[in-house]
């Protein structure tokens, strides 16, 4: 693949990434409108006939690795495992 073809592909990627960002922004704006509507009605669930929309608090328990690392550094280091991956980037 030549330089021109590579440049064209990168341009296409950049354009698609721009479109993706615009779509993600539009999606978040629509979600924010729905959430505001639900909050104004003080409801956690709405049934539209086609969809059931839920916006409620969910509690999860997560391991606090940062605090564990500070409190038990040696034990933390014993359980570290190296991971190999590849990163693709365009600058």
CB 46 within 8 A of CB 38: yes
Residue 27 falls inside a structural domain: yes
Query: DSSP for 29-63?
Result: HHHHHHHHHHHHHT-SEEE-SS-EEE---------
Residue 25 falls inside a structural domain: yes
Residue 36 falls inside a structural domain: yes
State how many domains the chain has: 1
Q: What is the pLDDT of residue 63?
A: 97
Residue 76 falls inside a structural domain: no
Number of H helices, E strands in the chain: 3, 2
Which tokens go with 69? 């690392």
Residue 35 falls inside a structural domain: yes
Residue 13 falls inside a structural domain: yes
Q: What is the pLDDT of residue 76?
A: 97
Q: What is the pLDDT of residues 39-88, one digit of tens each?
A: 999 999 999 999 999 999 999 999 999 999 999 999 999 999 999 999 99
> Which residue range(s) make up the domain with 53?
3-58
Residue 40 falls inside a structural domain: yes
What's the sign of the alpha-carbon dihedral 17, 22, 25, 31? negative
Which tokens go with 56? 């409620």
């Amino acid at each position: 693949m030549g330089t021109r073809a590579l440049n064209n592909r990168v341009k296409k990627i950049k354009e698609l990434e721009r479109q993706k960002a615009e779509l993600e922004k539009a999606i978040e704006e629509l979600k924010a409108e729905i959430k505001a509507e639900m909050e104004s009605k003080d409801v956690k669930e709405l049934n539209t006939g086609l969809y059931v929309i839920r916006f409620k608090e969910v509690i999860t328990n997560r391991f606090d690795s940062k605090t564990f690392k500070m409190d038990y550094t040696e034990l933390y280091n014993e359980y570290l495992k190296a991971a190999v991956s590849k990163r693709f980037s365009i600058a």
